[in-house]
A and B are shown apart, each in its own frame.
Chain A
Amino acid sequence: MLKKISIKKISDLAVALMEKGTLLAPVKDAAGHNFAELKDQQQLDLNYYNTIVSPKTVFLPQKEDFIKYETGKPIIEAQSVDLNIKATFLLGVRPCDAKSFQIMDIHFRASGIIDPYWQQRRDATVIFGYAFDLDIPAQDADFYQTLGIGAADPEGSDVFMVKKGEDLLLGAVTPKGEEILAQLAMLGEGKPADKKYFEEYIKKGSQHQTRNMCLDPQVIAKKLEDIFHSGEFWQAQSAACLSCGICSFVCPTCYCFDICDDTLFSQGVRRRVWDACMFTDFTLEASGHNPRTQVYQRLRQKVCHKYSFHVRKYGVISCVGCGRCTKYCPVNIDIYSIIEDAMKA
C-alpha cells in the first residue's frame, strides 16, 4: 500500500495523528533537533538531518519511575506507577535508528526475559521511518552503509516515508503500518509512477555513499579479541577520551541502566535511569574494587562490547553507524577510525 500527501499539507497528517494518540517527531530547540511530543501541528517539520539524542528515548526513557513507596511501611503498600500508554506515532525515524530498535529488542524482549515497559511502549508505537535525502551527501561522521543499512532502508519501520518533489510518499512496511495508513483519510493514493519512484529510491539508497569498509562481524569480533590485551593499542586510541558519557547517551544501541531508590524524607520512588560504561564508577563494586579504573579499559569495553562480545552472543554488531557518538564527542573520538585501526592492527 502506498499513500501520499503534499508536504504543504503535512500539518493535516499531524492533526490526525495527534487526535489518535501521541505524536512524537523531531522538534528544534537551540541546540538542534530531538524527539518530543508535538503539541501543535505546525511544529511538524521534516527539515532536519537527524536528532541529537536517538529515538531510543521513546522506548527507554532516560528516567522511568516504577514504584512509589513510603519507608517504614510494608512492601505490599508500595504502588506501581502505571504506564498509561496511549497509541504512539513516532514520526521521522531515520533508517539507521529504525534498525537500532531491532537490535535493542534482542535485549528487551527476545532473550528470555521481557521488559514489560519496553514491550508495552514498543507494541503501542507505530514507526514512521523517513529516508535520508539522497540529494544531500551523507555527513562525514555517518557510516551506516558499512553496517549494511541503506540510506532509504525501510527495515525496522512500520510505514516508510520518502520525499518526492513537493510530495511525501508513505509506504506500508508491516501490517501495523497498513492499518494506520488505511485510517488516515487525508492521504491520497500512490500512483504507479509513485510506486516505481518509491522502490527505486530504496534501491538508490543502498548505493548512497557513507564511509564504508568491508566489515564482517565475525572477522571484527575475532580481531578485537586478538588485540584485547594490547595495552599500546587501547592507550593510543583512548588518549584523548574524556570518559564523559555523551557517546552512550546519544547512541541508539546503548542500553545500560541503573536502578535507584530515590527517597526524600519518607517518600520514595524506585526508578530506572540511563547509565554509561564510560562513567568512572560504572564498575565500582560494593567492596570498593573497580576493575575498570583506567580510561583505556572503559573505551576498550565499549568498542569490544559493540563489535565483539555482542557479535559472539547475539550474532550482530551493536552499532548502526549513525555517527552520533563521533559528532557529539567533545574530543572528536571516532569509533569508525578505531575499528579501521583494529582491522589493520
Chain B
Amino acid sequence: MTDFKQIENSLKREAKKLLESAEVPVVLAYARGYDEKHPMPFAAKSVADVEKIVFNEYCNFNMARYIMRFPDAAKIAVAAKAADSRAIVVLIQEEKVRREDLVILGISASGMKDPKTDQLIDSRTTGGLYNPVEYDILLGEEIRGQKIVSPYEVLAEYEAMDKEARWAFWKSQLDKCIRCYACRKACPMCYCDPCFIDQNKPRWADKAPQSPGNMMYHLTRFHHLAGRCIDCGECSRACPVDIPLYLFHKKVAKECEEMFGQAAGMKLEDKPVLVDFRVEDSDQILK
C-alpha cells in the first residue's frame, strides 16, 4: 500500500530544495483544505509555504492544468501522478510549455479515493496507470506487480448495447448537465481562450441547460479531446451532477489508439494524433 506520508515528506523536501535555491519561483503541489478529506491544489511560492504541503489519498487534482497560469515563469516545478504526467507530456507536445522549463516531481501512488464517496477510485475508470511516464525526480516507490488492467475494459458494457439503448443512456446523462463548465475547467487540455462554446460568431449552441446545447457542447468537447485526453477522470469528479464523462472520453481514446496506434501523452516525441497523419492510414477507418 502506498505510504502517503512518506511521499508527502519527500514532496516537501524537494519543494524546499527547489524554492530555497530559487531554481523555481513556484512548486505546484497540494495543501490541506477545510478538512483532511478535502485537500486543495496549492502553489507554493516560498519556503514558508512548503510547510502547508500535504499528500494524501484525496489529492486527485491534476496539477498540469495550472501550468498555463504561469506564462512568465522561467521554470516551474509540478507534482505529477501517473495521469498528470501524461497531461504534462501532451502540453509539451502541443508546445504550450517546454520540457526544460519544468521540474516534474513524479508520484507513484495507488489507493486514491474519491472524497464524495470515500471509496477507492476504480483504476479502470481512470487511465489504469500508477507510475508517471515522465519525471525528473520520483517520489515514492515505483509500483510494480500490479495486474495489468486495460483502461478500456469498462467500456465493454456500453459497446455491447444496441444503439437505441446507448442513445437513451447518453441523452439521459447529458440532459442532466447544468452547463457549469466545471468539466472544461478541470481538464488540463482545455486551455483554449476563447472556448468554442463562449463564442458568438459563430454561435455553436445556446446557453440554456437543455438538450441541443448540451449535446453540442459535450459532443464537440469529446471531439476536441480526441487523442489528447489522458484519462485522469477529473472532469467526471468535478461534475456536480455525476455525468460519467470519462466513459465517452475513454471510448474516443480507445478508437484513436486502435486507428492510429498511439495513446495520448505517453512519449514526448509523439505528435497528438489529429495534428498528424500517415499516408498509409487506412480508408477503413472511415467505414
Contacts and interface: CB of A to CB of B under 8 A. Distances in A.
The answer to A–B direct touch (Cβ < 8 A) is: yes
Given A240-B40, A330-B186, A281 B198 contact: yes
Contact of B198 (A242, A280, A331): A280
Q: By DSSP majority rule, is chain B's interface helix, strand, loop, or mixed?
A: loop
B107 interface: no
Interface in B222-265: 234, 237-238, 240-242
Given A141-B34, A245-B182, A328 B240 contact: yes
Q: By DSSP majority rule, is chain A's interface helix, strand, loop, or mixed?
A: loop
A243 interface: yes
B42 A280 contact: no
A62 interface: yes
A273 interface: yes
A239 interface: yes
Contact of B186 (A53, A244, A249, A258): A244
Interface in A164-223: none
Given A239-B41, A242-B186, A62 B178 contact: yes
A244 B181 contact: yes
Interface stretch (B13-21, B204-212, B270-278): B204-212
A76 interface: no
A333 B40 contact: yes
A333 B185 CA distance: 14
Interface in A134-164: 140-141
B35 interface: yes
Given A52-B240, A331-B41, A336-B34, A246 B208 contact: no
Contact of A140 (B34, B180, B234): B34
Given A239-B42, A260-B207, A331-B61, A326 B182 contact: no
Interface residues on A, range: 35 or more
A240 B184 CA distance: 15
Contacts of A333: 33, 40
B212 to A, nearest CB: 9
Contacts of A337: 33-34
B202 interface: no
A113 interface: no
B181 A332 contact: no
A217 to B, nearest CB: 22
A295 B69 CA distance: 9
Contact of A249 (B39, B43, B180, B207): B180
Interface of B: 33-35, 38-43, 61, 65-66, 69, 176, 178, 180-182, 184-186, 193-194, 198, 206-210, 234, 237-238, 240-242
9 contacts: A53-B178, A62-B209, A239-B43, A242-B65, A242-B185, A279-B198, A280-B193, A330-B234, A337-B34
Given A240-B61, A242-B65, 9 more contacts: A52-B240, A62-B208, A63-B210, A239-B41, A239-B43, A240-B40, A244-B185, A280-B194, A334-B33
